[in-house]
Chain A
Amino acid sequence: MSRRDEKRQAYASQLVPQKQNLDADKKGAAHLVCGLCKHYLETSWSADGRGSCSILKFGSNISANPPVYVLEGKEGFLTKTLSDASACKQFEKMQLIDKDGYECSDPVYRRTLRQLQEKE
């Protein structure tokens, strides 16, 4: 595999816009989702619910049975705010900060929290 192929594979999930389906998002809500984990990181793409993990690396799969944890590598593990993280052993629930919704950047998870609230 060429270096270019590797990059393409690693980044494809973030590059391709996805169709929006209101109903699908409301089904099967997991109690523990990546967006509630302190290792979840927002990116510029977080508006549509995407982000990455600060622990896991590319190749991990937390929805597999058993989950696959890759901890080494240069590419991060891309996930979504609402991905089911109940089986992930790296999951650590973050402390929610109750702040004015208009606050900028702090907490950085403002949007995540709102999405989660809507989901409930």
Chain B
Amino acid sequence: MAQAALKDTSVKEFEKKQEWWWAAEKKRSKRLDYLRKAIWKKGAIGGLYAPGVKVDLERAQLHTQKAKEMEMSPDAYVIKFAKMFAHILDNKTIFITDHAQLVGYTGSLPHTMGWDPSAASILNEEAFNDPTAIPDPVDVNQKVIREINNYWIGKTDLDKMMPVFDMEDLMKMLSGSIGWGVPLARGGYSSKDYEYIMTGKRAFAAIIDELDRKIDEVDEEVHQPGANAEISKAYDKLNNWDAMKITLEAGIRIAKRYARLARIIAENFEEDPKRKEELLKIAQTCERVPAHPPRNLQESFQYDIFIQMMSRTEAIEGAWPSRPDYYHGPYYDKDVNIDKTLTREEALDLVGEFIIRAAEVCQFKPKWTREGLQGIDGTWVWTIGGVDRNGKDACNDLTVALMQAARLVRVANPTLSFRWHPKVKDEVMREIFECNRQGLGYPNMRNDPILVANTMHWYGHPIEEARLWANQACLSPCPTTKHGFQPMRMANATANCAKIIEYVFTSGFDPVVNMQVGAETPDVATFKNFEEFFAAWTLQMQTIFSILVRAVNRARTLAPTMTPRPFLSGVSERSIESGLDTLDPSIERGNSWITAFTWVENVDSLAAVKKLVFEDKKYTLAQLKEALAKNWEGLEEMRLDFVKNAPKWGNDDDYVDDIMLRCLDEAAKFSKVLKDPSGNNWPILPENVSGNIHYANIVGALPNGRRLGDALYDGGISPGPGLDKKGPTAVLKSCGKIDHITGGRAFLLNQRLSPTQLAGEKGYQLWSSYIRTWADLGIDHIQFNMVDDATLRSAQKDPEKYQEVIVRVAGYSAHFVDVSRKTQDNIIQRTVQGLG
């Protein structure tokens, strides 16, 4: 929009037109406006990065340089790894953005993406092959990348792990047909032991002191007369503790580098006295944290950012498990309400900047991840609200400030996830509603009492710990406690479930990747009744889940020695105490789950087979098998019969809803047969991110009437787009038939609501009543898109004018213009539900 038009139009006029992004731009402070516009858009647009965003070669070169230098070093691997980490932090380029109060970034420059060349050759090959992400001059830098890649071949985490996996399972996974991601412990979703590091009791210096005591104590023990297995294990502990110490010391040093930079700018270059003061405050902050515990809100945010930056230097993290209001809230209260060192406006600026600092974080990721997470770098789903360990309402002033700041900065990532419970105050609910009404697509709503019970049911987390949960990625609750937190959830336990029903028709042979992937069940044409058909479905489900889980279990078992995480261990109480790497399954309670992409296609397909084949006898299984093999070509009438005349999930129809319950029951039973290396269960979690688009060309024709290439359904238990014909309450009633405690880990539900209908107080009351029904039915999750079709169509037609429109994709939000046309169409196709 032209500056003149922006200036001449009032906030109220923009709000009336529901052009919330322009209203936000006019409402936010000059600082926030600058910072918001200064960040580079890092989420992939469709499957490619935005112009100008480049792979960070500096980090890759530093990493490689140190690795080569230490090849002949006598150090244990974990110590070598810690030294590589320290070398990167000690030598990477650092910068401070103008007007910023918080510092720290994963790359060396604002437009770069951190690239870890030690993770996987498959990723390095992408860096080599993707000219859009190679920094200029491309010819020269492609050679630099080649040199780096050639050094790491055979040495990356994945290259080292491959020979110890089962080759058949690995190839089935890597075919990309049934799973997503690779089984790496330094690549996935990493929670933190926030109860240990974010409660203000200790920070790096105190931990280093404790490590020194531990090392001296055990060092003395191992040199006493005598020898046994415990002493043998003690050498590994000593190495682990040494490595933790190296990383924490490096963490303190890089913070001091930022402090020094801030002072140099303040004392030598900055002429504005106010900015000079801010730079000196940054210097003081970085001298304080992470060495010592924070004393105020700025230090608390900075401490958190440093921990995230360091953790993302150590590993490729695709999520940001966090509970910012719970852990930073006390500092907000102290600064704003008690000491009054910050006004509410100043605090809001700081909160907004904290969100922006997270929004800019990016690590170079492979194509399948980019396509599965279009528009974002990873799922930064920050958990707010909920209860404390005693069950009391944990909402505070920062809960509200985070939502207000989110409406001002309007980034798609991070998003907020609200833990609803019956004691939440109306003023907080109104903030949630306002964020959604203004089209952010967040916070989503999580049913806290249900999820606390669910967390206890599946993993046996004690209630006091279960109440301290944060989303591990999009939706899976995980306690932020000593034995409860999950140091790494590997994304490859993500099943493309539509293949389950597809494989029933192909006896497990995958026609897309030309490989026997599933179980060799009998020819589908020979099944005499639905029970035989369902038994084949169950076996295919069990086979696919097992392939994925076996690899994760293997990787987690080997992780402590093959892919240790000394920094994450250094901020984990259980590792400080035991000397074991934090990835060691023996010190984790276990919080594994299988993400079930494209789940509902199974339910609608099974219902269609049961009804049209076995009950109505309109078609034989042989005919259906042939139709699917031909992708319904020349059989449009038959296809439409399967679309229109078979019951569909989401209409409060027991016929198909009972099939959903039966499928979930089979999966839940099998979840307890599968065990993770901690001995805990593997429940399923139906959701999709953008997997419904990513897999569109990989999943063949299905009995629900789908053709190869059609977008799959958009959400975990969301009905197919346009197939929920009986209104929003019917959708809730179908979803409410599921037991959200014992039926699975969590269940994603997308709903589109009309922003016009939800205007004003009446709109809030309608939404509020809908949320009460949702809660009463015991559904664990719901999220909303409240952007109308006209706006979305206009954005497709004229994307330049609608750069800031945000939509809910799946477990995350994204700018509408950043997702592929197919995903855009899929969002528009979702039924707009009228309430009341």
Contacts and interface: CB of A to CB of B under 8 A. Distances in A.
Interface of A: 4, 7-8, 11, 14-15, 17-22, 41-49, 52-54, 57, 74-77, 100-106, 108, 110-111, 114-115, 118
Contacts, number: 123
Contact of A104 (B143, B146, B170, B823): B823
Contacts of A22: 142-143, 146
Contacts of B47: 102, 104-105, 110
A45 B367 CA distance: 10
A20 B146 contact: yes
A4 B168 CA distance: 8
A15 B171 contact: yes
Nearest to A42: B176
Interface string B163-203: 00001101100111000000000000000000000000000
Interface in B105-135: 121-122, 125-126, 128-131
B366 A47 contact: yes
Given A22-B143, A47-B367, A106-B697, A101 B48 contact: yes
Nearest to B155: A17
Contacts of B52: none
B149 to A, nearest CB: 6
A43 B514 CA distance: 10
Contact of B153 (A4, A17, A105): A17
Contacts of A17: 121-122, 125, 153-154, 156, 159
Given A45-B122, A106-B696, A15 B46 contact: no
B158 to A, nearest CB: 9
Contact of A48 (B128, B154, B176, B822): B128
Contacts of A118: 131
Contacts of A108: 697
* Chain A binding surface SS class: mixed
B115 to A, nearest CB: 14
A21 B149 CA distance: 11
Given A14-B174, A76-B513, A111-B129, 18 more contacts: A17-B122, A19-B149, A19-B150, A20-B149, A20-B150, A22-B143, A41-B513, A45-B174, A46-B367, A52-B513, A52-B515, A54-B511, A57-B514, A103-B822, A104-B47, A106-B697, A106-B820, A114-B131
B460 interface: no
B175 A43 contact: yes
B512 interface: yes
B522 interface: no
A11 B516 contact: no
By CB atoms of chain B within 10 A, which of A19, A20, A74 has the most? A20
A7 B126 CA distance: 26
B548 to A, nearest CB: 13
Contacts of A8: 167
Interface string B255-282: 0000000000000000000000000000
B652 interface: no
Contacts of A49: 129
Interface in B516-556: 516
A75 B515 contact: yes
By CB atoms of chain B within 10 A, which of A41, A105, A110 has the most? A105
A11 B821 contact: no
Contacts of B150: 19-20
Contacts of A11: 167-168, 170-171
A92 B122 CA distance: 29
Nearest to A48: B125
Contacts of B727: none
B693 interface: yes
B694 interface: yes
A43 B510 CA distance: 12
By CB atoms of chain A within 10 A, which of B130, B156, B820 has the most? B820
Interface string B682-705: 000000001001101100000000
B696 A41 contact: no
Contacts of A42: 176
Interface in B588-631: none
Contacts of A41: 512-514
B122 A47 contact: yes
A102 B48 contact: yes
